[in-house]
Structure 1
Amino acid sequence: MTDLRQQSQPPEVLRDRIAAVLGRARDRSILLTEAVDDDDLVRQHSPIMSPLVWDLAHVGNQEELWLVRDVGGREPVRHDIDELYDAFKHPRKDRPALPLLGPGEARTYVATVRDKVFDLLDGIRFDGRRLVADGFAFGMIAQHEQQHDETMLATHQLRTGPPVLSAPPPPAAAVPVTGEVLIPAGPFVMGSSTDPWALDNERPGHLVDLPAYVLDAAPVTNAEYLAFVADGGYTEPRWWSGPGWRHRSSAGLSAPMHWRRDGTGWGYRRFGRFAPLVPDEPVVHVGYHEAEAYAAWAGKRLPTEAEWEKAARWDPVSGRSRRYPWGDQDPTPEHANLGQRHLAPAPVGAYPAGASPLGVHQLIGDVWEWTSSPFQGYPGFTAFPYREYSEVFFGPDHRVLRGGSFGTDPVACRSTFRNWDLPIRRQIFSGFRCARYARPDEVG
């Protein structure tokens, strides 16, 4: 079994990397919270989202708990607020009524915590217990903050009022990408036992043997999804599962979230701006039920997460599982649309350098991709460092999403990274691609 082995970095190199990823996350948190006034910061823009000020203080509190107190063994900064920012004690809908830190207090708190973290980083040894080996706890906190940054970006998409965020448009398509790709039968290593910052649900690496299957070369686009809408896809129960149709009916769904009629066509409201749909852009803000219905209408299905990961990692020449579709090196702006550099998915064909060896494009970045798999632990899973990150969500209620979005930072995105959500959720930057079983004439 071949799993990419990550070499331990010299302490000074690791410290620089940690400082860089923590700093990048904080710069983004500041951008997302300072883009609005204090009234907007404390407002709840949707009952399924927290006020932005809660997210800001929460990332500071998690950083204090794990790095200042646990790793550093230092005195608490604000032990009196731990319960307020425990995500499992207070549902999102109830958080505005809590005695939360105000905007000024929250900013001071997270800055104080960060100062203490950088102070302890200067002298930390990256050996000994598992939590600090290879800087894991620091990487976990950087990933956690970036995950909340993406959540805050989704909150910005839900807010009303004039635009407050801006970014250059994504690159145009560089190559035409159409059709499907045959993924040959055979085993591959799924997950990782060696990536030092892989989270518990990505572990351990294990062998999975798949029959041949066919995967779309690119995510489903607005134009392709519009054909489903125009063909009455939202009014025809036969394309939907039972739970999917019940939700579609009760929620009154008729198109992806944020799509609006624009005369005889459709437009899209994105971060306070309304514009016509971009035909070759991956469709975004669709729930699992919608993705599943489209796939049925197209005569296909959603891929399993094992199928998605094999397409993203398996190298047909070496047989090795790589960290990304293009290889093992970290993403660059030529590989993928990540890190909120743009505020939209890029058109299909915009990142030929990021394609897999078999020719599957844009598996990383642009839109999270729904898979058909429920969220479960891998064989031999062990919760680390706490059950509430992954294990409490295992079961049939949540479906796995893969690949990251334009709002996902590279530190929290790799081909083994697993996201999950309820099938009805559409506020996330979610899209999909389709799969099907290979026909005998395609494999023989």
Structure 2
Amino acid sequence: MLTDEQLRDRIAVDLERARRRTATLTDAVDDGELVAQHSPLMSPLVWDLAHIGNQEELWLLRDVGGRDPLLPETVDELYDAFRNARSARPALPLLEPEPSRSYVRDVRGRVLDLLEKVPFGRRALTRDGFAFAMIVQHEQQHDETMLATHQLRAGAPVLSAPPPPPGRTGLPDEVFVPGGPFEMGTDLEPWALDNERPAHAVEVPAFWLDTVPVTNARYLRFVEDGGYDDPRWWSPEGWAHRQQAGLVAPQFWSRDGGQWQRRAFGRLEPLVPDEPVVHVCWYEADAYARWAGRRLPTEAEWEKAARHDPVSGRSRRYPWGDDDPSPERANLGQRHLRPAPVGAYPAGAAPSGAEQLIGDVWEWTSTTFDGYPGFRAFPYREYSEVFFGPKHRVLRGGSFGADLAAVRGTFRNWDYPIRRQIFSGFRTARDAEPDQLTEEV
């Protein structure tokens, strides 16, 4: 358990890492591109920048610190994500780039002063530094959103990163996860968000799960077998969307003669066969799984494969154990700007034998987004509860664009099943045979 001083130091480090990344993403383009809308699905980058500062001010300076607003109250309305749809944000009287930068700098300076003296534990919002951690996670989530905007942006490359580590061959196609109960969710993770709580026992029948995410090479077989032209593999809703949207391959794929290629952050490159496929929507993942004679895992199956330790019977924080992610265990934090080849992170394997469950690509599950039994919204309904229902599907595990502060074995992401500008991939599952249904097998 951290002392208050250690906790303050950790929060300060996390805040600085997030802000460094925000600066990288917003300083990489000129002011004209900062205020432009690169896709109707996304905000102008300058909106995300000032929104980050506004949320930090609202929760930390005003709620925790009791301070008065720094700017006119109309600014709160401009950067209210629920009041203003992404497609409408360019028409708003937003702060210009330099005032936006000045605003977030001013807020951060005051927040660091507040961090030095705020008492932890007096309120639920500040216990274990939760409010500060919530803001760190919020900024890192918007950084990943801005990274997706960079992927949608046209023009010359402006971001760069070293290549990921090499993969390895010889992995089994799938791993067996015995049936039985496990503890899903958490009561112990102090910075977990409301939809990750409470911990509860879930009975999961035995199943088989892909050892690694589905690769470009495997997905290409589906494409070249006519998978996009055969309604047998698509749900009725998926087939209707495939036709209406004109889907023929994952987003950013194209064919040049007989060669498939992919555009990644302004660079056109040959498809890398052993990288996880990325930028597929839920309907595409579901269709591939049906074509392969398999299915998408449920959210509970995914979490059991990632966290359950059959020896101790407990659920780990991460697939590899309770230690925080490291570069040897997972591809996170925009370190490589792409998924790593499968087999690149043996140190990140789960007890089930599954690998790359954290980082690389968000993984679609078959589960619709809802609260766990006993769910309580905290600290506001708009974080999770307003999204509950059949319209959203759960994604798990994080991506190369997610930060370690915003990814855990219990962390839950969600989106519409048509979305594919996100860094989304998947792995498939199948039911076990009747003689393989318990832990004792």
Contact 1:174/1:352, CA 8 A, preserved across alignment: no
Indicate the residue corresponding to 1:360 in structure 2: 354
Aligned to 1:12: 5
**Which residue of structure 2 aligns with residue 268 of structure 1?**
262
- Match status 1:121 vs 2:115: yes
- TM-align CA RMSD: 0.8
**Post-superposition CA distance 1:340-393 (Å, at most 9, x none):** 000100000000000011210000000000000000000000000000000000
Q: Residue 209 of structure 1: which of 203, 206, 211 is its match? A: 203
CA distance in structure 2 between the aligned counterparts of 1:20 and 1:353, rounded to whole angstroms: 25
Report how far residue 442 of structure 1 moved: 4.0
User: Who is 1:337 aligned against?
Assistant: 331
- The CA distance in 2 between the partners of 1:216 and 1:264, in whole Å, is 29
Aligned-residue identity in percent: 70
> Deviation string for 1:303-344 (max 9, x for gaps)?
000000000000011010000000000000000000000010
Whether 1:34 and 2:51 are equivalent positions in the alignment is: no
Q: Which of 55, 68, 72 is matched with 2:48 structurally?
A: 55
Q: Residue 103 of structure 2 is aligned with which of 95, 103, 109? A: 109
Superposition deviation, residue 127 in structure 1? 1.1
Could you report, residue by residue, the CA deviation over 1:280-315 in whole angstroms, capped at 9, with x for unpaired residues?
Answer: 000000000000000000000000000000000000
Question: Is 1:402 equivalent to 2:396 in the alignment?
Answer: yes
2-structure distance, mates of 1:174, 1:230:
25
Counterpart in the other structure of 1:66: 59
Give the count of matched residue pairs.
437
Contact kept, 8 Å, 1:160 with 1:272, in 2: the verdict is yes
Aligned residue in 1 for 2:306: 312
Match of 1:144 in 2: 138
Cα distance in 2 for partners of 1:375, 1:161 equals 36
Runs of at least 5 residues in structure 1 that lack an aligned partner in the other structure = 1-6
C-alpha separation in 1, matches of 2:171 and 2:286 = 22
Q: Equivalent of 2:14, from 21, 42, 49?
A: 21
Q: Can you list the C-alpha shifts for 1:106-155, whole angstroms capped at 9, x where unaligned?
A: 00000000000001111111111100000000000000000000000000
Q: Deviations over 1:71-96 (max 9, x none)?
A: 01112112330000000001000000
Q: Which amino acid aligns with 1:296?
A: R
Q: How far does residue 167 in structure 1 lie from its aligned partner after superposition?
A: 0.2
Distance in 2 of aligned mates of 1:346 and 1:88: 35
SS at match of 1:83: helix
Q: Is the 8 A contact 1:175 1:352 kept in 2?
A: no
Residue 439 of structure 1, CA deviation: 1.1
1:219-368 paired onto structure 2 within 5 Å: 219-368=213-362
- Structure 2 counterpart of 1:65, one-letter code: L
- The residue type paired with residue 311 of structure 1 is A
Q: Distance in 1 between matches of 2:108 and 2:378?
A: 23
Alignment of structure 1 residues 113-192 onto 2, 5 Å: 113-174=107-168, 176-192=170-186
User: Which digits, 9 at most, give the CA deviation of each residue in 1:385-438, with x for residues without a partner?
Assistant: 000000000000000000000000000000100000000000000000001110
Using structure 2 for the length normalisation, give the TM-score: 0.98
Indicate the SS of the match to 1:75. Answer: coil
Secondary structure, counterpart of 1:82 in structure 2 = helix
| Structure-1-length-normalised TM-score | 0.97
Gaps of 5+ in 2: none
Asked if the contact 1:177–1:348 (Cα under 8 Å) also holds between the matched residues in 2, the reply is no
**What SS does the corresponding residue of 1:436 show, helix, strand or coil?**
strand
Q: Contact between 2:306 and 2:352, CA under 8 Å: does it hold in 1? A: no
Which deviations, in whole Å up to 9, do the C-alpha atoms of 1:149-192 show, x marking residues without a partner? 00000000000000000000111014532311110011111000
The DSSP-based 3-state class of the residue aligned with 2:263 is: strand
Paired letter, 2:28: A
Aligned-residue offset at 1:441? 4.3
Contact persistence 2:157–2:266 (CA under 8 A): yes
- The whole-number CA distance in structure 2 between the counterparts of 1:90 and 1:177 is 47
AA aligned opposite 1:63: E
Residue of structure 2 aligned with 1:388, choices 377, 382, 396: 382
User: Counterpart amino acid of 2:161?
Assistant: A
Structure 1 residue runs of 4 or more that deviate by more than 6 Å after TM superposition: none
Counterpart of 1:22, as a letter, is L
Aligned to 1:4: none
**Counterparts of 2:216 and 2:266 in 1: how far apart (Å)?**
19
